[in-house]
Amino acid sequence: MPTTSKQLTVRPESDVFLRQVDEYAGQLPAEIREPMRQALQKEFEGDYEKVEEICLGILEKDPENMEALPLLGRTQLAERKYEEALESFRKILEKEPERNFERIAYGITLHALLRYPEALQELQKVDPEADYHPFYYSTLADCYENTGNRKKARDAYRAEIARWEKTGETASPENLDGCFCSLIYLDASLSLPELPADLDLYRDFLNKADLTPEMTDRLAGNIAYWSSLLTVASFRDPFVQFVKDVELEGWLMDSPKAYIIESAYRAAESYRYHEDNKVDAFMESFLSAEGGSRDEANNKAARATQLVHEWYMSRCVDEYAEMFLYVAEQYPYSYMRTVTFLDQLRTFGAEKVRDLILDRLEEEELVQGDRATVIERLEQSYRKLREAKKQPVYLAEGGVTYRRNARKIMPNDPCPCGSGKKYKKCHGRLS
């Protein structure tokens, strides 16, 4: 029987697999029985170089051996020798076009070569239930996304999850988690009514999965990735509730990425205070700057933005005393990022804090020019920012363009996961 982890079925244990190999090999012709047994054992162990060597040895004597050729193709695919794998599967399908599993592998190989329309054509020919392949639906979905059909992509991700619902089995929890990540992203971005049910199902999956460090990293990455969807107003409450559930369950408690929970709350708050008439544009820009990355080594731009906005606020902090009290009550996670700065103001006074900020900007080489020039530039930008008004943003989604007030995450913005990288270099690559 397969091993299970909290009801989540994964790959079979070694002794079970070896018995299956022995049964299979016993039905083969005597001349290839032992080589194929060895090759399959090596495939299970991940020794693909040895598998390829054995298969090529068999095929040297019998070039069209239909036992060794599929195994060779799988091995080449695993080794990312995509052109060679494509040729192996092509040979199989030319001789036996009805072979379902090999056609799936052929489509997956075309996908790996970024030949999405061809891959989609092949994958649509097969019966995915006849020969289960753990990457069939996720590959099909990605092909749909890359050929412009996001709704069909969503349905393909959901089909893989439905199979797990029905059988409790998955060859790869990580792959299933990836399907959930993409499913929920598409649910939200397409404003689909299935979103709440799919989030509930993902919670169920997390309860049953073995949350290894890799899986908790994936969970943190999913939360960061979904943060970019907070532009969609209908997604905000379900997102915040999910983050609360993650916090209550303690799923990220011991993870080095536990900070993502606070980051997610701040991200959600940022959309709320943008739409809050009691928070003006100046305070919003200050809170946004304070909520950015604190990693000075890896994100100088964010550090400069933070210090500059603290300099701005020191010029008018008394005017904002009442608004700070309001922010502390309504947006506690955003407010907490301002506490150190406010403590410095109380301790040293506004003028001294401005001098300390200028010292740090110069020491960290975050500005250029003499101090008088820097102060003049800061005063000019400060006056401009004080006059700024909140601006609505437009978002096209689901075939309908509508007006929204929340700020969209742009490619050069810091990634909401807190990595310090630009969004386009981090989770933006997945969108």
Tokens at residue 100, please?
A: 């379902």
Average pLDDT value over all residues in the chain: 86
Q: Cα–Cα distance between 107 and 101 in angstroms, integer?
A: 10
- pLDDT of 369 reads 87
- pLDDT of 394 reads 40
Of 293, 232, 286, whose CA–CA distance to 259 is shortest?
A: 293
Is the pLDDT assigned to residue 15 strictly greater than 70? Answer: yes
- pLDDT of 12 reads 55
Answer for the pair 133, 105: CB distance below 8 angstroms, yes or no: yes
Band of residue 298 on the pLDDT scale cut at 50, 70, 90:
low
Band of residue 404 on the pLDDT scale cut at 50, 70, 90:
very low
pLDDT tens string 220-256: 999 999 999 999 999 999 999 999 999 999 999 999 9
Other C-beta atoms closer than 10 Å to the C-beta of 190 total: 17
> Facing residues of 414 across strands?
422
Residue the block writes with tokens 């902090």:
317
- pLDDT of 95 reads 94
Q: Cα–Cα distance between 78 and 88 in angstroms, integer?
A: 13
pLDDT tens string 405-422: 434 444 555 444 434 455
pLDDT tens string 105-155: 999 999 999 999 999 999 999 998 888 888 999 999 999 999 999 999 999
Answer for the pair 103, 96: CB distance below 8 angstroms, yes or no: no
Hey, what long-range contacts does 365-372 have (CB within 8 A, 24 or more apart)? 366/300, 366/303, 366/304, 366/307, 367/304
Q: Cα–Cα distance between 300 and 319 in angstroms, integer?
A: 29
Answer for the pair 109, 82: CB distance below 8 angstroms, yes or no: yes
- pLDDT of 16 reads 75
Return the DSSP state at 63.
T
Is the pLDDT assigned to residue 165 strictly greater than 70? Answer: yes
* Radius of gyration, alpha carbons of the chain: 28
Q: Which of 198-202, 390-394, 398-402, 413-417 has the weakest average pLDDT?
A: 398-402
Distances, alpha carbon 24 to alpha carbons 17, 195, 424, in Å: 11, 44, 48
- pLDDT of 13 reads 65
Ranked by mean pLDDT, the top range of 168-172, 311-315, 411-415 is 311-315
Other C-beta atoms closer than 10 Å to the C-beta of 180 total: 24
Band of residue 157 on the pLDDT scale cut at 50, 70, 90:
very high
Q: Cα–Cα distance between 291 and 299 in angstroms, integer?
A: 13
Answer for the pair 363, 356: CB distance below 8 angstroms, yes or no: no
- The residue type found at 326 is Y
Answer for the pair 180, 205: CB distance below 8 angstroms, yes or no: yes
Of 309, 397, 13, 263, whose CA–CA distance to 21 is shortest?
A: 13
Of 218, 207, 158, whose CA–CA distance to 184 is shortest?
A: 158
Q: Which positions ≥6 away from 414 have C-beta within 8 Å? A: 292, 293, 299, 302, 420, 421, 422, 423
